[in-house]
Amino acid sequence: MKYFHIILLFIASANVLFGQNTGLATAKKQFEQKNYQKVITLLGDNQTTDIQALALLGKSHFHLKQPKKAITYFRKATELDSQSAELQYWLGLAHFTILRSDIPFNKKSYHAHRVKKTLKTALKLDSSHVGARKELARYYLNAPRIAGGSIAKAKKHAITLKKYDKSAGYRLEAAIYFKIEDYEKAEQVYLTIIKEGLADETIYYWLSEVKHLAKDFSKSFDYCQQMMQKYPAYLVGYYQYAKVAALAKQNTDQGIKYAQFYLTKDPDNQASPGNHWVYYRLGTLYQQKEDKTKAQEAFQQALKIKPDFKLAQKALKN
């Protein structure tokens, strides 16, 4: 009889374990399909001690823009596994998200401290962790000095990052020059990325942006044209041309043409930066042509998409 109870206990335990494993496997599939709420429904047990489940719950809440809840799960996971660089990275990322949000000033120091501590810990555990190094560098790049901000430290991480991910290292280096408004050096880094075969469509956007900010509008337009030629399906190229045309007050007709082309290719407002921005640039371009009727129509369309769009509200009053 004793052995019979032991067998029953073994079978019951095996069934529980099998059920947990099956639930975790299903949750992983749902996560891969970006069904984050389903992951939470499947695994939503605050008492779980399964590290994989805690990580999935944390990541799901993070992707649902719920960083506070994400922190709860990541913190518990790091307590169970203090040697995981990946978990430390995600915990730091969640704190960084809150730090960059609109929170009271007196709460910023706590999250700033947690960002630095967790990301530094991640790098101590795994110096090759690209995500942790990128985020820590971004912290140093954007934080005020009183909170530990340091351009020098950000540059140091950019140099180190090239050992593990050359493209990410170059992009970080360019972002640093962009931040300190050294647009010539930023351009040179982006051109190096192209030369070394590491570029994608976004590099041409940033090249156009740095030349626009440097007031070299001719070169900015040229990079837009290269972007559209090399990546015709990348709608940002058409928007960028319209934006530069509106801000530079040059090539107005061509800017209108590209803005209209963008809108015909994205009628459902799925692409970035969003059709409200495209309509706003279009309205500005029509203003430059002194076509008040079409300008107002464009601004109204922008507000129809985003009613609280202040730039369009202001433009419509002019």
DSSP string, 39-77: HHHHH--TT---HHHHHHHHHHHHHTT-HHHHHHHHHHH
What confidence score (pLDDT) does residue 287 get?
A: 96
Question: Alpha helix (H) ranges present in 82-233?
Answer: 85-99, 105-125, 130-142, 151-164, 166-179, 183-195, 201-213, 217-230
Query: Of 64, 51, 67, 153, whose CA–CA distance to 114 is shortest?
Result: 67
Consecutive 10-residue runs of the chain (318 residues): their mean pLDDT? 45 41 87 95 84 96 96 97 97 97 92 97 98 97 94 97 96 96 98 97 97 97 98 97 98 98 94 95 97 96 96 91
What confidence score (pLDDT) does residue 23 get?
A: 82
DSSP tally for the chain: helices H, then strands E: 17, 0
Rounded Cα distance, 140 and 85, in Å = 20
Amino acid at position 300, single letter:
Q
Measured from the Cβ of residue 281, the count of other Cβ atoms closer than 10 Å reads: 26
273 preceded by a cis bond (ω within 30 of 0): yes
Rounded Cα distance, 127 and 161, in Å = 9
Rounded Cα distance, 301 and 318, in Å = 16
CB within 8 Å of 121: residues ≥ 6 apart: 85, 88
Domains and CATH numbers, the chain: 27-126 (1.25.40.10), 235-318 (1.25.40.10)
Residue 232 main-chain phi, psi, to 5 deg:
-60, -25
What confidence score (pLDDT) does residue 21 get?
A: 61
- With beta carbons less than 8 A apart as the criterion, state whether 276 and 302 touch: yes
What confidence score (pLDDT) does residue 9 get?
A: 43
Paired tokens of 179:
């931040």
Residue pointed to by tokens 């050992």: 163
Residue pointed to by tokens 């090759």: 128
What confidence score (pLDDT) does residue 46 get?
A: 66
